[in-house]
Structure 1
Amino acid sequence: MTSTWLQALSQAESMIPLLGKLGREKAIKVELAGNTLMADSVTGLMAAFDKHPELDLVQVYQLLEQLLAGDVSHTAVELESLIAEADMDSVLAAQTTDGSETPVVLYGFGRIGRLLARRMCMLGHTTPGMKLAAIVVRKACDNDLTKRASLLKYDSVHGAYDGLVKVDEENQALIINGSPVKVIYASDPAEVDYQAHGINNALLVDNTGRWRDHDGLSVHLNRPGIERVVLTAPGKEMKNVVFGVNDGDITNEDKIVSAASCTTNAITPILSVLEEKYGIESGHVETVHAYTNDQNLIDNIHKGDRRGRAAGMNMVMTETGAAKAVSKAIPSLEGKLSGSAIRVPVINVSIAVLSLNLKSATSVDDINALLKAASDSAELTGQIGYSDGADAVSSDFIGSSQAGIVDSLSTKVRGNQAILYVWYDNEYGYSCQVVRLMEKLAQAKLVNAELLESAAA
């Protein structure tokens, strides 16, 4: 090792306690070019700093010390802004948080619900402005709490959770990394009084997919203690939000919003970059998707005929609304994209094939360079990933936090016709997008709809 490397390593190690205290004591998330600086890994910090050799790590350490000594809490801060501005107080004064903490209720605790809990309660990570308060499920068995804890702790796809999960039977709660999370048993959302559990002004995330329209989800909103609802599926009669693309459209009046689908989140940021640069005349989205829990493991009756066939043995043609849903985030693409899907026998990670007719000719190098730059930008680094791995396969992307990852070596261009391949962890990558949206709803002082209308006029 060079002395320079050892010096950088020492400086990174010294930041771990500061980042830990900022997260634990002040709920401050520190970001560098859109990436969160985690308090649980020196290797992770070194990887982040390696992309930014221009950083003075001594200065970074001093800034973290100042943050810890200051009065700001429950927010996310950008390291670049702190470095660029001589006056840290002016940067922190511009933060939209009011310092309060929003309780979060997860309604449903399946694949997405458990991954949201993992992400929110991850060691070395903070979700500023919010805290997991409760989980609502139907009681499945006599030792339900123990089963829920085990499913959270151990996962066949994502491995064992790097955290402490305990069961508190007396208080009907899970203790996740020392924080109690109430488990509420209910078969109908209309049964639950959240205020009776000490929960007020909460953000409820519906992971069940049972209700997808405004009226159905309003049952949650009308319960005591709930202030806003997020749906983790495409929704009707509400805004479908892809964080990083159209989250700026959310207003105080939007009490129910959808986080769209995993596929919509994977492709929309990339399509937004291409639409802005080249313009898109038309296109088709073919999703090769991992099988999901709504399919049958062996042949049986199913409301979707083909989904009734054995998921682990067949490629199953099905439908997707992801292409159509893109226009809800990018209105200029209304009616320009078609879509279809094939479910395949892998348990996680999917790939979307974008076949596009652009308004101007381009090249493989130009498109890849454009998307590589987008993946490195603070605005879209969480949404767009970039792979140039010659031997990349689907399992390499398990645990990816980006919404979608461009497989640059597979990009095809002929004149104005482009074909792009986008990998995505349809479970964890999507869950990270949902958490980003939740953070915004918990932190931001959202503008009024009238202000948006005035700006558009």
Structure 2
Amino acid sequence: MRVFINGFGRIGRSVLRAWAERPEAWPGLVIVGINDIAAPDMCAYLFSYDSTFGPWRGTVELWEGALVVNGHVLPLHRLADISSLDLAGVDVVLECTGRADTAEVAGRGLQAGARRVLVSGPSAAAEVTVVLGANEGMLRDQRIVSNASCTTNALAPLVRLLDQDWGVETGSMTTIHCYTGSQPTVDAPAADFARSRAAALSMVPTTTSAQRLLDR
């Protein structure tokens, strides 16, 4: 399976790290390229020094427009829209930009020639939303698939078991989430007053798409 990563942020870098650390654990899978609007040297730096997982213990270098990780040469592209790329022969575009909520954006990988797109988060454009351990049996020949949200991935398998064995009529859930890149590190103006406060010093009530996604 030939995989192209669109969006080299938290999820995109984590996918590459998991694959490059133990490629033998992913037989038949090869990552063939990366796209991100960040500069190549920044992509290499953020992959090399990860605040969550620690420093990369393998090799990383830039060579003729490519990121070379443990000897794997991965062409780097710097486009806001990947539909102009030639992705013929790519089996799956991992859509990790966090911006693929419309059919136009989510479908850009297909326009570029890839066979399928897997969106790393919730997407209204997805033909099916799949959570392993909950509803992977729904996966057929859909071309745009969503892997749902982190909260939904934590909740859906448990709800499935409860519903199968006893039945679920109503429910209530609470999720506690780390702060994200959309929150300021110091107090700053924001459309949402709660989100204007310094992230590390605040507990911010917010919404989740988990309830909507569970219905799918």
Give the TM-score normalised by structure 2.
0.92
Judged with a 3 Å threshold, the aligned counterparts in structure 2 of structure 1 residues 212 and 222 are, in CA distance, closer, same or farther, namely same
Please say if 1:162 is aligned against 2:57.
yes
Q: In 2, are the aligned partners of 1:103 and 1:203 still within 8 Å (CA)?
A: yes
CA-CA distance at 1:211 after TM superposition: 2.1
Q: Secondary structure at the residue paired with 1:265?
A: helix
User: Deviations for 1:385-438, whole angstroms, at most 9, x for unmatched residues?
Assistant: xxxxxxxxxxxxxxxxxxxxxxxxxxxxxxxxxxxxxxxxxxxxxxxxxxxxxx
Q: Secondary structure at the residue paired with 2:18?
A: helix
Q: In 1, are the aligned partners of 2:36 and 2:78 still within 8 Å (CA)?
A: yes
Q: In 2, are the aligned partners of 1:105 and 1:134 still within 8 Å (CA)?
A: yes
User: Deviations for 1:282-320, whole angstroms, at most 9, x for unmatched residues?
Assistant: 111111111011111122233444223211110011111
Please say if 1:300 is aligned against 2:199.
no
Q: Secondary structure at the residue paired with 1:266?
A: helix
Correspondent of 2:103 among 208, 214, 220 = 214
**Which residue does 1:118 correspond to in 2?**
17
Q: For structure 1, which runs of at least 5 residues remain unmatched after alignment?
A: 1-101, 329-457
Correspondent of 2:202 among 299, 308, 314 = 314
**Which residue does 1:236 correspond to in 2?**
124
Structure possessing the higher radius of gyration over alpha carbons: 1
Judged with a 3 Å threshold, the aligned counterparts in structure 2 of structure 1 residues 207 and 303 are, in CA distance, closer, same or farther, namely farther
- 1:187 partner amino acid: A
- 2:90 partner amino acid: N
Aligned length: 215
Judged with a 3 Å threshold, the aligned counterparts in structure 2 of structure 1 residues 308 and 281 are, in CA distance, closer, same or farther, namely same
Separation in structure 2 between the aligned mates of residue 321 and residue 235 of structure 1, nearest angstrom: 10
Judged with a 3 Å threshold, the aligned counterparts in structure 2 of structure 1 residues 314 and 304 are, in CA distance, closer, same or farther, namely same
**Which residue does 2:134 correspond to in 1?**
245
Judged with a 3 Å threshold, the aligned counterparts in structure 2 of structure 1 residues 218 and 124 are, in CA distance, closer, same or farther, namely closer
**Which residue does 1:134 correspond to in 2?**
33
User: Deviations for 1:82-111, whole angstroms, at most 9, x for unmatched residues?
Assistant: xxxxxxxxxxxxxxxxxxxx2111111011
- 1:164 partner amino acid: T
**Which residue does 1:341 correspond to in 2?**
none
CA-CA distance at 1:264 after TM superposition: 0.3
**Which residue does 2:211 correspond to in 1?**
323
Give the TM-score normalised by structure 1.
0.45
**Which residue does 1:223 correspond to in 2?**
112
Correspondent of 1:182 among 75, 87, 108 = 75
Identity score, percent: 33
Separation in structure 2 between the aligned mates of residue 107 and residue 326 of structure 1, nearest angstrom: 26
**Which residue does 1:283 correspond to in 2?**
171
**Which residue does 1:267 correspond to in 2?**
155
Alpha-carbon RMSD across the aligned residues, in angstroms, is 1.7
Q: Secondary structure at the residue paired with 1:187?
A: coil
Judged with a 3 Å threshold, the aligned counterparts in structure 2 of structure 1 residues 227 and 314 are, in CA distance, closer, same or farther, namely same
Q: Secondary structure at the residue paired with 2:15?
A: helix
- 1:338-357 equivalent positions in 2, closer than 5 A: none
**Which residue does 1:376 correspond to in 2?**
none
